[in-house]
């Protein structure tokens, strides 16, 4: 049986109470402030701001500094709920100004969570209506170490975002991580490089206003380890300067031009490295480029590539001594010599992702289990599974998938494949199966009779015609550590009545099991 819910710690209860307190204060502020604003809008604004300042001071004077980030999250969560609650109070026949004044109060309540000693904030977690307030007050968060601005305005209001971001980051001396997709500009990066000398991670994906003019600026950020410039306007020549000028750089994110960057470096100044890059992701690479990678970036441990006819032999990757994570897209398991690559390098692999890979049958699964005994993560995404096999499972010399902790299979496969995968991963913690695997009660019963999955924490099966409450009860019986069992709504063998009764049973028995739908698709 899954564990029962335990009482929350005093710290968690206190932080939740802070959020509830802010919500209660916000509700009580709405009518008085709206009444003042109707008579005198300027006085209403001044009164609102002074109320917010007093509440902000009270919160941060009453909570230990090391809980500021957690408290801010609780407060922002409570405010988001209050905004949604206020939206639902809108009445069509009332003057729109009344509703606008009410929303103005609760939205600006976001300011009470802002403080110079916050260390981490992610704007993308909050509704857009709150992000505007956060952006306006970015200059007040001078102590931030990690700032995630998400996708900004999506590229629609880059100039507005630029002004607010520049004003904010210019005083963030402790910033180590910055994310601003779509809306980053050369001017923002110049301010970041000048003021944020501790910066280690920068993500400006899809920001077309980032050009080669930022290259010399970024080269001055000597602590940079992670730099994402995918779909920006930085050229091959600019990338080359960055690769040579940033001694600590380990991850360039997805970079389809990377092979040409290495070619440019070698042909223009004869520099062959070695460079310290550890993560390589590209969708446009040839065998020649892979050989350059091996020669010039020998410390690469993560490889993600798209295979096409320009790659004659994938076994060239076996020359990477540190290779431990491998993602292959669009290839054939046997024809393109994936089998041979795994035979040579599989022992070092802890993560294997196969996407749009064909020729996978039980033989291929057995080879993976034998050549990659230390795998912790395994993904099959839109792969072609074949039913035929000629190997005997009795001949296996290595126990299959004994260290596997996460498996994702979004593919049309035979039940024999699933049984082999799931029956042998005794240390599995996370399982996600797609809507076309065809798994049902019979298969799950067979699997759990061989492998009770004592360590399983999360199971997602996105759709099934043949799964019912029988499987749910088996999981409840065998999987003592189960915490998440989602997408039960799409199991056709479970009626709405049964699902309602199951929710009541979980609540009555206080089981710590989350069955809310998520429909998320993790990348690994």
Q: In this predicted model, what pLDDT tens digit does every residue of 301-319 receive, in sequence order?
A: 999 999 999 998 899 999 9
Contacting residues for 17 by C-beta, under 8 A, at least 6 apart: none
Residue 26 has pLDDT above 60, yes or no: yes
Residue 472 has pLDDT above 70, yes or no: yes
Residue 73 has pLDDT above 70, yes or no: yes
Q: In this predicted model, what pLDDT tens digit does every residue of 213-242 receive, in sequence order?
A: 999 999 999 999 999 999 999 999 999 999
Which of 346, 297, 356, 341 minimizes the C-alpha distance to 325?
A: 346
Q: In this predicted model, what pLDDT tens digit does every residue of 122-138 receive, in sequence order?
A: 999 999 999 999 999 99
Angle, CA 272 vertex, CA 197 and CA 285 arms, to 5°? 90
pLDDT average, residue stretch 397-425: 92
pLDDT value of residue 397: 87
pLDDT value of residue 152: 83
C-alpha–C-alpha distance, residues 270 and 293, integer Å: 15
pLDDT value of residue 522: 44
CA within 13 Å, CB half, 264: 15
pLDDT value of residue 388: 67
Residue 151 has pLDDT above 90, yes or no: no
The answer to whether 147 touches 178, Cβ cutoff 8 Å, is: yes
pLDDT average, residue stretch 426-430: 97
Q: What is the DSSP letter of 143?
A: T
Report the range of poorest mean pLDDT among 105-109, 416-420, 450-454. 416-420
pLDDT value of residue 259: 94
pLDDT value of residue 157: 81
Residue 524 has pLDDT above 80, yes or no: no
Report the range of poorest mean pLDDT among 170-184, 377-391, 486-500. 377-391
φ, ψ at 316 (rounded to 5°): -60, -25
Structure token digits, residue 441: 């009660």
pLDDT value of residue 98: 87
Residue 523 has pLDDT above 70, yes or no: no
The answer to whether 321 touches 298, Cβ cutoff 8 Å, is: yes
pLDDT average, residue stretch 442-450: 95
pLDDT value of residue 435: 85
pLDDT tier at 160, thresholds 50, 70, 90: confident
- The dihedral built from the CA positions of residue 303, 306, 310 and 315, taken in this order, carries a sign that is positive
More confident position, 202 or 151: 202
pLDDT value of residue 393: 56
Which percentage of the chain shows pLDDT scores above 70?
A: 98
pLDDT value of residue 389: 59
Which of 172, 126, 112 minimizes the C-alpha distance to 146?
A: 172
| Residues shown for the chain | 524
Q: What radius of gyration, in Å, describes the C-alpha atoms of the chain?
A: 27
Residue 271 has pLDDT above 80, yes or no: no
Residue 519 has pLDDT above 60, yes or no: no
Indicate the average pLDDT of the chain.
93
Helix (H, G, I), strand (E, B) or coil at 34: helix
The answer to whether 449 touches 419, Cβ cutoff 8 Å, is: no
Q: In this predicted model, what pLDDT tens digit does every residue of 337-385 receive, in sequence order?
A: 999 999 999 999 999 999 999 999 999 999 999 999 999 999 999 998 8
């Amino acid at each position: 049986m899954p564990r029962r819910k335990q009482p929350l710690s005093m710290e968690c209860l206190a932080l939740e109470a802070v959020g509830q307190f802010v919500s209660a204060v916000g509700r009580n502020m709405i009518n008085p402030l709206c009444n003042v604003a109707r008579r005198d809008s300027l006085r209403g604004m001044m009164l609102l701001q002074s109320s917010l300042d007093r509440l902000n001071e009270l919160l941060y004077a009453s909570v230990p500094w090391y809980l500021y980030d957690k408290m801010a999250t609780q407060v922002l969560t409570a405010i988001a709920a209050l905004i949604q609650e206020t939206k639902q109070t809108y009445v069509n026949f009332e003057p729109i100004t009344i509703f606008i004044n009410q929303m103005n109060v609760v939205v600006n309540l976001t300011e009470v969570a802002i403080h110079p000693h916050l260390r981490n904030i992610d704007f993308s977690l909050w509704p857009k209506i709150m992000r505007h307030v956060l952006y306006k007050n970015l200059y007040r968060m001078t102590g931030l170490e990690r700032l995630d601005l998400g996708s900004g305005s999506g590229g629609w209001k880059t100039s507005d975002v630029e002004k607010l971001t520049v004003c904010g980051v210019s005083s963030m001396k402790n910033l180590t991580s910055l994310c601003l997709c779509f809306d980053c500009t050369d001017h923002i990066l110049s301010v970041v490089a000048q003021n944020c000398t501790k910066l280690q991670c920068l993500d400006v994906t899809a920001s077309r206003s980032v050009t080669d003019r930022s290259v010399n600026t970024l080269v001055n950020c000597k602590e940079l380890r992670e730099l994402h410039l995918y779909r920006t306007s930085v050229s091959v020549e600019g990338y080359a300067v960055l690769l040579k000028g940033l001694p600590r750089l380990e991850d360039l994110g997805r970079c389809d031009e990377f092979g040409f960057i290495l070619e440019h470096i070698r042909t223009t100044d004869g520099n062959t490295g070695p460079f310290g890059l550890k993560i390589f992701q590209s969708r446009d690479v040839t065998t020649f480029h892979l050989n350059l990678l091996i020669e010039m970036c020998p410390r690469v441990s993560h490889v993600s590539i798209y295979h096409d006819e320009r790659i004659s032999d994938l076994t060239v990757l076996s020359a990477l001594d540190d290779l431990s994570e491998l993602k292959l897209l669009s290839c054939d398991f046997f024809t393109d010599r994936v089998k041979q690559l795994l035979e040579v390098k599989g022992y070092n692999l802890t993560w294997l992702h196969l996407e749009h890979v064909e020729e996978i049958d039980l033989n291929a699964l057995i080879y993976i289990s034998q050549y990659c005994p230390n795998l912790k993560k395994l993904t099959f995404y839109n792969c072609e599974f074949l039913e035929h096999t000629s190997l005997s499972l009795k001949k296996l010399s290595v126990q299959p998938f004994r260290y596997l902790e996460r498996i994702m299979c979004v593919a049309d496969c035979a039940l024999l494949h699933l049984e082999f995968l799931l029956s042998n991963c005794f240390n599995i913690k996370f399982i996600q199966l797609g809507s076309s695997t065809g798994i049902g009660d019979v298969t799950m019963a067979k699997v759990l009779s061989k492998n009770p999955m004592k360590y399983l924490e999360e199971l997602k099966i996105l759709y099934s015609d043949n799964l019912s409450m029988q499987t749910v009860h088996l999981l409840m019986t065998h999987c003592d550590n189960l915490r998440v069992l989602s997408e039960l709504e799409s199991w056709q063998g479970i009626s709405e009545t049964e699902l309602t009764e199951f929710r009541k049973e979980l609540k009555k028995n206080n089981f710590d099991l989350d069955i809310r739908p998520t429909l998320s698709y993790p990348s690994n």
